[in-house]
Amino acid sequence: MKILIVQDFLRSGGTERQSVLLANAWAAAGHPTTLLTFRPGGALVGTVAKNVSRRTLQPFDVGLDWLAPGLIAATRRAAPDIILCMGRMANCYGASLQNALPACRVIATMRTGKPLPALFRRSLQRVGHVVANSAEARDALVSRYFVSRQKISVIHNSLVFPPVTTLRRNDALRAHYGATDSTNVLLCVAMFRPEKNQRELVEIMAGLPTSCDWQLWLAGDGPARAACEDLVSRKKLGARVKFTGFHANPSALYCAADLAVHASWSEALSNFLIEAQAHGLPAVAYQAQGIEECFIPGQTGWAIARNDRTAFRSELLRQFGPGATERNVIAEKARTFARETFDPERQVAAYLNLFSQIVAP
């Protein structure tokens, strides 16, 4: 089975990591796989396996995510059986790809809670199938975008980083950032983009009692980082909020933190939260599409009504309270849930099973 994955750019986001993981796994399973991007380069280029065919459309990076010169011609040359559109820009071309290659099965993906542009909505109606990465995303496709439920499959995101096999805390990294044994280290791993809403986390933390011993680690990079750093400076929280930068593999951060926090309003399923759960971190997050599928609600994670800072702080303070024994019980439950629910082999096989069902004999 020849598979083509279409992605605008290999930036360091969650969707892009899923694209690379799937491409590498399908190629390793013996399926000729091509990863086609609009823009060349990107932070994740080096993570693509050598047996995955890489193609780019822009001869040099013009910085435009939507520009896909020669997409139809390049797709025809690849002659795939399956085309999987990943990300908003690629999905906007789904209808054009399906119209140009009627014998090919084009699959759109729903991985966001943000409003969809008109071309994306058009693709949802024209393509042969749609994969939603959460049950809530599927329900939104049906109720908001009028996609037939029979046309939708739910396949969760895969764990990208192999979880550690021990619950031992990374005290060396904590010490590097000035956290003591009693410090509650809260972690958020995400690109700095407006919809990820790291600024809201800073506002929430600024309202905690001054007597609390906490640090907030914000891992990642992106265009919204400077504004967040400015907010931290104005709030005089420089000693408590740490910008750790981009990490190709953030596992060390997961092992050093105590709690995962998330304030994004546009998720369909948070890669960060499922990775944090797999490493044993309980989570506190604003409610968004698919968020409560990232953890066991009320046991390993707590969803807070959006913009309710008071409730968010109250839950944080409650999470600061448990001793080591109770935290270990929660951590083990979170690890078991995440590793079973988001196992990469399981998700890769789910896609291949879907492909085999919809590809014409």
Judgement on whether residues 335 and 351 belong to the same structural domain of the protein: no
**pLDDT tens across 63-92, in order?**
999 999 999 999 999 999 999 999 999 999
Contact yes or no for 144/121 (Cβ under 8 A)? no
Confidence band, pLDDT 50/70/90 cuts, at residue 164:
low
Judgement on whether residues 98 and 188 belong to the same structural domain of the protein: no
Amino acid at 353: N
pLDDT at residue 281, as a whole number: 95
Confidence band, pLDDT 50/70/90 cuts, at residue 165:
low
CATH at residue 140? 3.40.50.2000
**Domain range for 124:** 3-158+343-358
**27-53 exposure pattern, b = at least 16 Cβ within 10 A, e = fewer:** beeebbbbbbbbbbebbbeebbeeebb
**pLDDT tens across 8-56, in order?**
999 988 999 999 999 999 999 999 999 999 999 999 999 999 999 999 9
In the chain, how many domains are there? Answer: 2
SS3 assignment, position 46: helix
The pTM of the whole model exceeds 0.85: yes
Looking only at the bridges linking them, the beta strands covering 301-304 and 129-132 are: unpaired
Judgement on whether residues 204 and 288 belong to the same structural domain of the protein: yes
Judgement on whether residues 132 and 281 belong to the same structural domain of the protein: no
Please name the residues in contact with 167: beta carbons below 8 A apart, sequence gap of 6 or more.
280, 328, 331, 332
Judgement on whether residues 147 and 30 belong to the same structural domain of the protein: yes
